[in-house]
Structure 1
Amino acid sequence: MSNLQQQPSYLKAYEPFHGRFDPCRPIGVKFYSTPPNLYLGFQPPNLEQFPPEVALKKGTLWPALYDFYDNPYEAKGR
């Protein structure tokens, strides 16, 4: 295994099955987000921490477990 580790992509995509006789039009590609803790395995020692004020705003003490969520249903440009 190489020393260069790629960060996993938290955004996943799939295309729902659309049958030949399905009366509805195809939905297209659907996206979903996976949490960062799925890729951590266990908590390593001496993990970097946010300052307490920042941790309260972000909802986690550890930057490795922080995942920014951008709501895809929220209207852009408001």
Structure 2
Amino acid sequence: MTHALEESQPKVSRHLAQLRNCGLLSDRRDGQWVYYCLAPALPNWIEDILKAAQQGQAERLALLQNRLASMGNRPERRLTMC
């Protein structure tokens, strides 16, 4: 996420931790990797807000997704180096 957002790792981690502490995100660790997803029990109104934000920021989100795609699959790369 730091690569896609062009932000420092501490800043991204701090914001993700805040979202997790508020109950909006869930996380799962796998070695050095942490995988985030939306919390499973979000109220419908939050999902509606996120969908509206996604539609309003479609162009920016596409740019961020392209940056992430350019990195390749980092966990797979890690396995090939071991």
TM-score, scaled relative to structure 1: 0.27
Q: Which has the higher contact order (CA 8 A, sep 6+)?
A: 2
Task: Name whichever structure is richer in strand by fraction.
Answer: 2
Higher helix share: 2
